[in-house]
Amino acid sequence: MLLPFAFSFIAAFAAFPQDSKPSAPRQPDPGGVREKLAAIEVEFSTVQEDFYKKYQDIKSKEEQAAYLKNTPKAAEYISKAWEIIHKNPKDPGVIVGLNWIIAETYAPGGADFTKALDLVAADFIDSKEASEICSQLQYSPIDDARKFLETVLSRSKLIEIRASACSAIGGMCMNRANTVDYFNSSKDKKEYAENYIKTRGQEAFDKMSKADSAALRVEAEKYYEQVIKEFGAVASQTKFAEGALFEIRNLSNGRQAPEIVGKDVDNKEMKLSDFKGKVVVLDFWGYW
């Protein structure tokens, strides 16, 4: 069953100032801005966990559907976070709340999403969290996310954060290309479209359905090449970009399969190219 909600998965990359010394460890202040905002995030997460645990115990589809109508909404908790942020706009701890707000709103977008991005770009563009936000935004279908990444790429003083932004733009192009291809090849287009609109909005769906996946992959290549050329000192991003380029250029639909060398079930040497012209079934499996 496809559920009308989505979990946010944030892939964080390292982002440490190359020219500055690390500051002394900050002592936790239960009443500080950072701690108050973190507490709101934990509170909402706990409410969600309790809700979904109870959902697992419901047996009938009818009861499940009725229960899901009361899915916890982040709006109430986001409002609490904004109250703290507005009272302490320049406090370094504010970035914790902004990061969380972006994580909760990056798919559908909206006023909270755009406002949080604008504040990060204005006051926290060189923070560690800015790099995390960039990595997360590659999954966003919202135009404001792309604008933010381009702003970070051109304005951040830290090479690690600029590299993260550049890589994220490439990832955004790739994710959109894959989404377009999946939609066009899906047997359940209607159901897929309905769920996409529920989680990301009609505007995002309209743009996705009209997009050119081939052009998006070409654009992705450009940004991944930029990562390698301009940000080679950031090893994690360079390695990721190299892997992404290999995938685009060698593993996309219609490409010739790369050579595979190994041993068969009889422990004899074999190569994939030995079977050229024949129908080959590759069975990839493992333990997860």
In this prediction, residue 18 carries a pLDDT of 39
**Consecutive 10-residue averages of pLDDT for the chain (288 residues):** 37 36 47 93 96 93 93 95 96 96 89 97 96 94 94 97 98 93 85 85 85 94 98 96 93 81 90 88 78
In this prediction, residue 141 carries a pLDDT of 85
Sign of the dihedral defined by the CA atoms of residues 231, 235, 240, 241, in that order:
positive
How many Å apart are CA 129 and CA 53, to the nearest integer? 30
- Sorted by where each begins, the domain ranges of the chain are 33-261
List the one residue out of 192, 178, 186, 188 whose CA is nearest residue 253: 178
Q: Is 243 left (phi over 0), alpha (psi -120 to 50) or beta?
A: alpha
Biggest CA–CA distance in the chain, Å, is 71
> Is the pTM higher than 0.85?
no
In this prediction, residue 288 carries a pLDDT of 66
Please state, as a whole number, how many other Cβ atoms lie within 10 Å of the Cβ of residue 96: 24
Residue 249 structure tokens: 């250029």
In this prediction, residue 30 carries a pLDDT of 55
Residue 217 structure tokens: 């992959």
